[in-house]
Structure 1
Amino acid sequence: MTSYVEASPVKALIVEDMAVETLLLSTMLRRFHCEITVAKNGKEAVQLFLEGKKFDIILCDKEMPLMSGPEAIERIRALGETDVNIVGISTNDKAQEAFMRAGADVFVTKPMKLDVLGTMIQEVINKKNNVVV
């Protein structure tokens, strides 16, 4: 008999100002049974961390009103949030440098592909369950 450990839900934060993009990412994250929170800009994302919220993964757009993705990532990292997996997302592949300099773990060009997201979610689950692959 094989028993499986039920993974605790992954807490995902989508930082995106475009409703269509938010819907696409939310739909994909739901397929992996993620608990989803949405911030419409970088300032809202930083505020969530200032309020003590914790996330396992952040999917962050680059260009947004009030505060850009890279600026938000810099501030979140400055708050000591080193365990959260941060994914920079943009249609502009030149955005990778700005995201990586700000402290993102990974950069993905839009549109995000389901299998790419699935791999990232599995890595987060493995990390949460202290599973070494």
Structure 2
Amino acid sequence: MASNAQGSSSVKALLVEDMPVDTLLLSTMLRHFHCETKVAKNGKEAIDLFLEGNKFDIVLVEKRIPIITGPEAVEKIRAMGETDVKIVGLSIETDDQEAFMSAGADVFVSKPMKLDVLGAMIQEVINKKNNAMV
């Protein structure tokens, strides 16, 4: 599957997660697809990365993160004009989907995320980047 998700350019991913086990699991999955990954441990760190001028192709954000929640972070990132980045809301609670979608997330995935689901999203991001370069 990894070879299917390789493009001519590296995908820049931001993982916003405060649980060490989930951070390890998701960052390993992102590396499987050759993503250049940064990790933020809370919503404020994620927002600060955007304010510093960092650009990401995909953001995976957990709902229950400290300081600023996942949906609040999504809303603030979108309010900064970051409309091209694919934002994926993550939570073990399927009830959290509405909070993410109304905040501006592109998709919601309940945990645990499956490798093939992430792979399809990474491939979609690569296709979008490659089409933008044409």
> Highest CA radius of gyration, 1 or 2?
1
Identity between Structure 1 and Structure 2 (%): 72
Q: Secondary structure at the residue paired with 1:65?
A: coil
Kindly indicate whether residue 126 of structure 2 is the aligned counterpart of residue 128 of structure 1.
no
Kindly indicate whether residue 89 of structure 2 is the aligned counterpart of residue 88 of structure 1.
yes
Residue 94 of structure 1 aligns to which amino acid in structure 2? D
| Aligned residue number for residue 53 of structure 2 | 52
Measured in 1, the distance between the counterparts of 2:84 and 2:13 equals 13
- Greater relative CO (CA pairs within 8 A, separation 6+): 2
Give the TM-score, by structure 2 length.
0.93
Give the TM-score, by structure 1 length.
0.93
The number of aligned residues is 127
Task: Give 1:6 deviation, angstroms.
Answer: 4.7
Q: For each residue in 1:4-55, what CA deviation from the matched residue of structure 2 results, as whole angstroms up to 9, or x when unmatched?
A: x952000000000101101000110111100000000111000000000000
4+ aligned runs moved over 2 Å, structure 1: none
Task: Give 1:68 deviation, angstroms.
Answer: 0.2
Kindly indicate whether residue 69 of structure 2 is the aligned counterpart of residue 68 of structure 1.
yes
Q: Of Structure 1 and Structure 2, which has the larger fraction of its residues in helix? A: 2
Contact 2:7 2:126 in 1 (8 A): no
**Aligned pair in 2 of structure 1 residues 61, 6: CA closer, same or farther (>3 Å)?**
closer
Residue 44 of structure 1 aligns to which amino acid in structure 2? E
